[in-house]
């Protein structure tokens, strides 16, 4: 039902050009829950039925108009249907809009027979082109660099969780990379504001909470316990999807602890990762990534090779074809003196390395195993 309203939104993008309507993120678009919620859903569906009826009714008297309407609707039917895809993308409007512009140009330039009327319609078309060109120029200024681009996105879509998170990420990246303490303190509350907005706008996603925690840790600010508790709840109970949380941000949280600096207490960090691993909807890729991060954390920070080995095996269990996971596991086994297991894993690693991309590394491990055996 939302798609019916989105069709009219696409038409609005074409005939009422406004940069505030455009954007990378349209997750602030209100979803239709029924024909009357919102009420415009019913009118949107009736309007589309009306357009289709008009096109078939006028297919002989006005074939160009009928073609334009049907070309637009059929073009959008490929991605604006019952198939569960991202709701809105600007590029989906490119090809379907061609049908409308063909019809528009025909009736503005070709069809009018009176010279004065033709001049008026041509002038209107030129004015429309000038407006579109001006909007394009303004948007090009916004897109001049990543910072201005994403700040324009969040300005135009303040209720978009992803736009807020992206804005916070850009600011946090500047904070992480600058050595100017004054600039850090200036940008910190703004980055925190956008992270908080993303948390409040999407009650399922964990990205914003992870961003807040990592930002506070970097700035040596105390991390609020409510943020940690909320994060653990979402990681464990919210249905997993790439839009809610992913391996990348969670692994980054683990990685910043590998330097040995005092960050989150080990008990707290392990509580967060274990909450994610308890999520029954977690996919194998994410399970493997979290376990790989925990393997490194137990080995490098907690100095616990046994638990590192356990998580190494769990990572391989989730993604048995990941050669890099197996190589890391072999190194742990060698350090623990488990030569037979290391040889077994080396054999499995070579089987997994079907394209022989890791030949040099496996040969080096084989030589190391041979040296250990000779030393015995």
pLDDT, one tens digit per residue, over 251-304 is 888 888 887 666 899 999 999 999 999 999 999 999 999 999 999 999 999 999
User: 250 vs 207, 290, 311, CA distance in Å?
Assistant: 9, 7, 16
- Tell whether 30 and 120 lie within a shared domain: yes
Does the pLDDT of residue 156 top 80, yes or no?
yes
What is the C-alpha separation between 40 and 167, in angstroms, rounded? 31
- Tell whether 288 and 350 lie within a shared domain: no
C-alpha gyration radius of the chain: 28
Identify the pLDDT of residue 261: 66
What b/e sequence results for 93-118 when a residue is b if at least 16 CB atoms lie within 10 Å of its CB, and e otherwise?
A: beebbebbeebbebebeeeeeeeeee
Q: Indicate the number of domains in the chain.
A: 4
- Tell whether 133 and 181 lie within a shared domain: no
Does the pLDDT of residue 43 top 80, yes or no?
yes
- Tell whether 39 and 100 lie within a shared domain: yes
- Tell whether 284 and 164 lie within a shared domain: no
How confident is the model over 315-359, as pLDDT tens digits? 999 999 999 999 999 999 999 999 999 999 999 999 999 999 999
This prediction has a pTM of: 0.85
Half-sphere exposure of 196 (CA within 13 A, CB side): 9
> Which residue segment(s) compose the domain that 250 sits in?
204-319
- Tell whether 24 and 103 lie within a shared domain: yes
Does the pLDDT of residue 178 top 90, yes or no?
no
Residue 167 binned pLDDT confidence (cut-offs 50, 70, 90): very high
- Tell whether 119 and 24 lie within a shared domain: yes
Identify the pLDDT of residue 120: 85
- Tell whether 42 and 93 lie within a shared domain: yes
What is the C-alpha separation between 33 and 80, in angstroms, rounded? 17
Closest by alpha carbon to 275, among 239, 209, 231? 231
Tokens 């660099």, residue located: 145
Decide if 295 contacts 278 (C-beta within 8 A): no
Does the pLDDT of residue 106 top 90, yes or no?
no
- Tell whether 78 and 134 lie within a shared domain: yes
Residue 152 binned pLDDT confidence (cut-offs 50, 70, 90): very high
Select from 276, 293, 319 the last residue of a domain: 319
Select from 278, 297, 319 the last residue of a domain: 319
Say how many Å lie between the first and final Cα of the chain, rounded: 72
What is the C-alpha separation between 214 and 137, in angstroms, rounded? 37
- Tell whether 112 and 224 lie within a shared domain: no
Counting residues of the chain whose pLDDT is more than 90, the rounded percentage is: 67
Select from 122, 142, 162 the last residue of a domain: 142
- Tell whether 153 and 136 lie within a shared domain: no
Does the pLDDT of residue 191 top 70, yes or no?
yes
- Tell whether 228 and 240 lie within a shared domain: yes
């Amino acid at each position: 039902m939302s798609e019916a309203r989105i069709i009219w939104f696409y038409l609005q993008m074409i005939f009422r050009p406004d940069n505030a309507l455009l954007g990378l993120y349209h997750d602030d678009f209100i979803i239709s829950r029924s024909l009357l919620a919102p009420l415009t859903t019913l009118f949107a569906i009736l309007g589309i039925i009306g357009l289709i009826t008009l096109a078939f009714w006028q297919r002989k008297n006005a074939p160009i108009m009928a073609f334009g309407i049907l070309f637009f609707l059929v073009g959008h039917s490929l991605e604006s249907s019952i198939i569960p895809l991202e709701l809105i993308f600007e590029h989906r409007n490119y090809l379907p809009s061609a049908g409308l512009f063909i019809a528009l140009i025909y009736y503005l330039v070709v069809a009018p027979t009176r010279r004065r009327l033709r001049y008026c319609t041509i002038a209107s078309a030129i004015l429309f082109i000038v407006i579109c060109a001006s909007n394009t120029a303004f948007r090009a200024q916004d897109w001049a660099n990543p910072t201005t681009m994403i700040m324009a996105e969040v300005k135009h879509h303040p209720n978009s969780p992803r736009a807020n998170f992206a804005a916070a990420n850009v600011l946090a990246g500047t904070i992480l990379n600058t050595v100017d303490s004054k600039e850090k303190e200036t940008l910190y509350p703004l980055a925190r504001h956008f992270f908080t907005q993303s948390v409040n706008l999407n009650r399922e996603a964990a990205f914003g909470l992870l961003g807040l925690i990592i930002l506070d840790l970097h700035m040596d600010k105390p991390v609020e316990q409510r943020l940690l508790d909320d994060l653990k709840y979402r990681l464990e109970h919210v249905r997993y999807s790439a839009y809610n949380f992913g391996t990348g941000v969670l692994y980054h949280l683990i990685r910043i602890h590998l330097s040995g600096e005092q960050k989150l207490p080990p008990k707290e960090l392990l509580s967060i990762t274990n909450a994610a691993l308890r999520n029954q909807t977690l996919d194998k890729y994410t399970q493997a990534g979290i376990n790989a991060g925990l393997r490194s954390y137990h080995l490098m920070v907690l100095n616990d090779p046994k638990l590192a080995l356990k998580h190494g095996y769990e990572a391989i269990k989730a993604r048995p074809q990941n050669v890099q996971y197996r190589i890391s596991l072999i190194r742990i086994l060698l350090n623990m003196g488990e030569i037979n297991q290391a040889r077994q894993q080396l054999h499995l690693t070579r089987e997994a390395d079907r394209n022989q991309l890791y030949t040099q590394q496996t040969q080096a491990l084989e030589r190391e195993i041979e040296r250990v055996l000779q030393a015995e």
